[in-house]
Homo-oligomer: A and B are copies of this chain.
Amino acid sequence: LFASVFSRGRVALEVSDAAWLKAMLDAEAALARALARANLVTAEAARAITAAARPDRFDTTELGRASGATGTPVPALVQALIRAVPEGAAGAVHLGATSQDVLDTAMMLVAKRSVPVITDDLRATAETCALLADRHRGTVMIGRTLLMQAMPITFGLKAAGWLTALDRARFRLSEVFRTGLPVQLGGAAGTLAPLGEHGGDVLRFLAEELGLVEPTLPWHTLRLPVIELGTALAGASAVLGKIARDVSLLAQTEVAEVRESGAGDEGGSSTMPHKKNAAGAVAILGCTRRVPGLLANLLAAAEQEHERSAGAWHAEWETVSDLLRLVGSAAQWARELVGGLEVDALRMRRNLDASEGFWLSEHVTTLLTPALGRLEAHERVRDAAFRARASGGSLLDALFDEPRSAAALSRAGLDRDKALALDPLSYLGSTQTWIDRALAAHRKAGAE
């Protein structure tokens, strides 16, 4: 019922029951080929198993029903696979492996196939942010701290911040994709006893067959690969949530500095025809808000007993699927959201101008400091701000209306006329530098 919200984009397919089944069968087939390369089974057997390991021959519902007996669907799958191959190949099926070998390897395959979908969305979102950062490098707006108007920034700087964080999150996920997803193969207690001295070879071949990493040793109860996958996803989620929060706040009716575009009814309300919600931002937050607890579960599940765990491992499967699905959905939403973001530069400027120059307070404090000392300067400006707010006037007027401040400002070369010309554009500090650095870092990240 909520598919377009939480199972959005291609990732949902990659974590479906069908995808898990395919991954388990791929693991079994690759194992057979790895065993053949190590001369432990015949090439014919490996070919037969590979040929038989086609998802359409198996029934996820029935496997689901069978999963209760042993806690996993693997024994039932192995039995079905044995029945699906010629008798001569039966002995080669699942040889030396334990259920967890297949399920863990499948989990890593599911991740291997899902993560690029996510990083692709992150990259596309970052590209758009880079464009926004450059295009809006001079689009001045009021920066906000603790939800209050503070000082001028530009929208380009905001986009540059998003960009930097997206690139970092993508880097982490790409790193996991490249070096963090190992095959699992250890057999019943991690020794691969039935394979005699060939365990190391079969492990290497299996990793090669599947394009996964070869671990130092079986990691049945050493779950850092799962944790690092989860934390990389959580990092991406954190960034997407931050962007969505910014957009939802900037899109508030009273702020109205950005707007999500969208075809047709996107974001419409069932009862209030006039409403145009920030549907993408809301959906992203609906996804990202579910990530912290899921990751906590994954972390708590890392305390696994002995050579194979009694329950903690089981807690990982749906959790990993959920994390991939939710972060993937959020990334897909973010790509659409940022891709269609309408930036209202005029409104940004209007909101800034409406602030009656309060944003200048830091600046004039600096100007007053040589004459008044630091602490008094701060106090004078604060008092002027309170007077201005009470009377509805501007900060500068309040300062010039007060003789001691007026004199000090004059001494700093600022009189009432000049003050009128004070332009937020002249008070942006390192804004352009930060944008340039973010764009340069992004180009470098892309080149890698």
Contact = CB atoms under 8 A, between A and B. Distances in A.
Given A223-B238, A231-B231, A369-B91, A273 B378 contact: yes
A349 interface: no
Contacts of A238: 223-224, 227, 299, 302-303
B246 A305 contact: yes
Nearest to A150: B189
| Tier of interface size on chain A | 35 or more
Contacts of A429: 187, 191-197, 199
Nearest to A93: B374
Contacts of A296: 292-293, 295-296
A169 interface: yes
A244 interface: yes
Nearest to A246: B306
A240 to B, nearest CB: 9
Contact of A65 (B4, B63, B291): B4
Contacts of A47: none
A144 B305 contact: yes
A168 B213 CA distance: 15
A162 B217 CA distance: 11
Interface stretch (A29-37, A119-127, A307-315, A409-417): A307-315
Interface string A126-158: 000000000000000001111111111100011
24 contacts: A2-B317, A70-B269, A70-B270, A71-B282, A143-B189, A143-B190, A143-B307, A147-B248, A148-B275, A148-B276, A157-B190, A187-B271, A191-B430, A193-B362, A216-B437, A216-B441, A217-B434, A228-B235, A253-B355, A273-B385, A275-B361, A282-B310, A290-B315, A290-B319
B311 A151 contact: no
B63 A1 contact: yes
A211 interface: no
Contact of A314 (B252, B278, B285): B285
A359 to B, nearest CB: 8
Contacts of A151: 187-189, 191, 193, 272
A311 to B, nearest CB: 3
A5 interface: yes
Given A245-B304, A264-B69, A274-B361, A216 B150 contact: no
A314 B434 contact: no
Contacts of A216: 164, 434, 437-438, 441
A255 interface: yes
B200 A430 contact: yes
Interface in A367-418: 369-370, 373-375, 378-379, 381-382, 385, 388-389, 395
A362 B194 contact: yes
A325 to B, nearest CB: 10
A18 to B, nearest CB: 9
Nearest to A440: B216
A112 interface: no
Contacts of A388: 274
Contacts of A193: 151-152, 362-363, 427-429
Given A71-B279, A289-B311, A430-B192, A375 B235 contact: no
A429 to B, nearest CB: 4
A254 to B, nearest CB: 4
A97 interface: yes
Contact of A385 (B160, B200, B274): B274
A64 B3 contact: yes
